[in-house]
Structure 1
Amino acid sequence: MPAHKRIVEVEGLQNCRDLGGYHTRDGKHVVKYKHIYRSDNVGDVTPEGKKMLLEKLWLKYIIDFRGAEEKARSPYAFAGVTYFPIPIETCFITEHVLTKPSLDGPSAEALLRRISTTFLIDFKDVYKNFFDVFLREAKGQPVLFHCTAGKDRTGVAAALLLTALDVPAEAVMEDFMLTNRCCVPPSCETVRVGNCIISKDAVNILFRAQAFFLELCFGEVCKRYGSVNAYMEKELGLGVEQLEKLRSYYVRPTSSSS
């Protein structure tokens, strides 16, 4: 995998990234490095990787979007790190897949498009709790948030957070799609989930970040609320005061070296 300034090499993880370095829309501020991390399943981290998270990334808080079965398969605990389970159960995909004998590429894309149109409505309470951790608990200390692949649940969280920090939409999408530099879909011709046979084309769609997923997530809230910011204010509790506080914790002037 080619090196990238935001990809953090942590043993056991494939998709760990620092959200620092993105500039705000006015160009006068930048998201702080070593303060916000997104990743795939932290339960897969090795002892050496765990040491890096604690001693080099100064991790203090973890937000876990995994569902109950995912956590049971891969539990973990870090001494000195405060843990917040805020689950989005994977049934939002598997319940659709398990009702079909097979899934091809067009059907997989249609499935993701259908899910994306209500994703931020269905899980608004999850993402409100996500921001509450940053505002009420972490208050500027380092936070890592993750699911299993670090792709959709985590990717949407990162997109909302960067938007709240006033990062432009182009950079928000760049971050969302960077997952595809980190994660490689299974190389097998098909994958079985229950009794459903998933084709290689469908695997490539489901196991990679898709720009249309984020576009439709944000597009739907724009239709319903007028803008993503209006959605965040009404449903996530992010008014002017909360946004200013969040930015004071995680954004610095470009002239500052901290």
Structure 2
Amino acid sequence: MSQQRLLDIKNGYNFRELGGYQTEDGRFVKWNKVLRSGELSELSDSDLAFLEDYGINFDVDLRSDTERQKASDKLPKKTKFIANPVFNSGHDKTERQYAEQYMDDATRGKQNMINSYQSMVTSPSAQKAFKNLFKTLLANTDDGAVLFHCAQGKDRTGLSAAFFLFALDVDEETIKKDYLLSKEAMKPFIQVKIDQYSKYGMTEELRQNLHDLYTVDESYFDAAMVTIKAKYGNINNFLHEFIGLTDDDIAKLKEIYLTD
């Protein structure tokens, strides 16, 4: 398999490799073991063939039940599907209601994102989802990869990727850079959303909010990190206390996902 960060998926957004990052002790995350992405509902036959060749053992879907019902994943052959919602509410508005919510106040989108990131490191539903994700990552002991994703592969997926890399002792600066790669990857999607919502009347406030809702930002990532450090002291305590990883779990993750 090739060693490239952004994968050549035609009918999906933000399909990325987590291999190749260096850890504090000089090892590297193995390529072809963990993928992060947006939803899999629009994949073409060639996209599915690409992921099948990649050897996807598990597809962990972090979206809500409502999101999954509206846009079910298409799965590569032999891939086990795991429904694992980080949040199971908040995705039930109509398009028009969504447009109206963000039509007037240009700060609402960014503030809602910051609130969401804080919830992802404090809420019971997120805690359950991250625990389940790591159970799957720990079960991936054969050849092949785990793919985890949400709708656009940037927020729920972005923090999932961050916690995975933190558990492997990748440094925070590198992890933030990986998170921020979604900024470029999501530019075409932001334009799609602007075009989609223009039929309701496009204000500058709505345009700004759509940008803020469908991009990533350092302030979002930092909101999660500040909350973690205020509540748990450091990321290591968070991994142990919130996600429930033991020292043995972390040692096993390193055995599975790091080069010798």
| TM-score normalised over the length of structure 2 | 0.86
Structure 1 stretch displaced more, 149-158 or 77-86: 77-86
1:112 is aligned to 113
Match 1:186 to one of 178, 191, 194? 191
Q: Distance in 2 between matches of 1:216 and 1:118?
A: 10
Give the CA deviation at 1:195.
Answer: 11
Give the CA deviation at 1:114.
Answer: 2.4
CA root-mean-square deviation = 2.7
Q: Distance in 2 between matches of 1:191 and 1:98?
A: 7
Deviations 1:61-85 (A, max 9, x none): 1100111222122223433111111
Give the CA deviation at 1:190.
Answer: 8.2
SS, match of residue 62 in structure 1: strand
Match 2:180 to one of 170, 177, 181? 177
How do residues 1-258 of structure 1 correspond to structure 2 at under 5 angstroms? 5-26=4-25, 28-55=26-53, 57-75=54-72, 76-89=74-87, 91-92=89-90, 100=101, 102-122=103-123, 123-135=126-138, 137-139=139-141, 141-184=144-187, 185-186=190-191, 188=194, 191=197, 199-253=206-260
Q: Distance in 2 between matches of 1:247 and 1:224?
A: 26
Unpaired segments of 5 or more residues in structure 2? none
Name the aligned partner's letter for residue 114 of structure 2. Answer: R
Q: 1:165 to 1:49 in 2, by over 3 A?
A: same
Deviations 1:44-97 (A, max 9, x none): 211110001001x11111100111222122223433111111013474477796
Give the CA deviation at 1:43.
Answer: 1.5
Instruction: Give the aligned length.
Output: 247
Q: Distance in 2 between matches of 1:193 and 1:221?
A: 40
Deviations 1:127-151 (A, max 9, x none): 011101111x212541111111001
Q: Percent identity?
A: 21
Q: 1:227 to 1:193 in 2, by over 3 A?
A: farther
Name the aligned partner's letter for residue 22 of structure 1. Answer: Y
CA contact (8 A) 1:43 1:74 kept: yes
CA contact (8 A) 1:183 1:208 kept: yes
Give the CA deviation at 1:205.
Answer: 0.7
Deviations 1:16-40 (A, max 9, x none): 01100000023x2000001100011
Q: Distance in 2 between matches of 1:38 and 1:245?
A: 20
CA contact (8 A) 2:102 2:108 kept: no
Q: Distance in 1 between matches of 2:36 and 2:67?
A: 17
Q: 1:61 to 1:23 in 2, by over 3 A?
A: same
Name the aligned partner's letter for residue 121 of structure 2. Answer: L
Q: 1:99 to 1:228 in 2, by over 3 A?
A: farther
Q: Distance in 2 between matches of 1:196 and 1:72?
A: 28
Q: 1:181 to 1:63 in 2, by over 3 A?
A: same
Which protein is richer in helix relative to its size? 2
Name the aligned partner's letter for residue 180 of structure 1. Answer: K
Unpaired segments of 5 or more residues in structure 1? 254-258
Deviations 1:184-230 (A, max 9, x none): 21263783799998611111111101111111112101101111110
Q: Distance in 1 between matches of 2:212 and 2:43?
A: 26
Q: Distance in 1 between matches of 2:200 and 2:81?
A: 31
Q: Distance in 1 between matches of 2:85 and 2:102?
A: 28
| TM-score normalised over the length of structure 1 | 0.86
1:256 is aligned to none
Give the CA deviation at 1:182.
Answer: 1.3
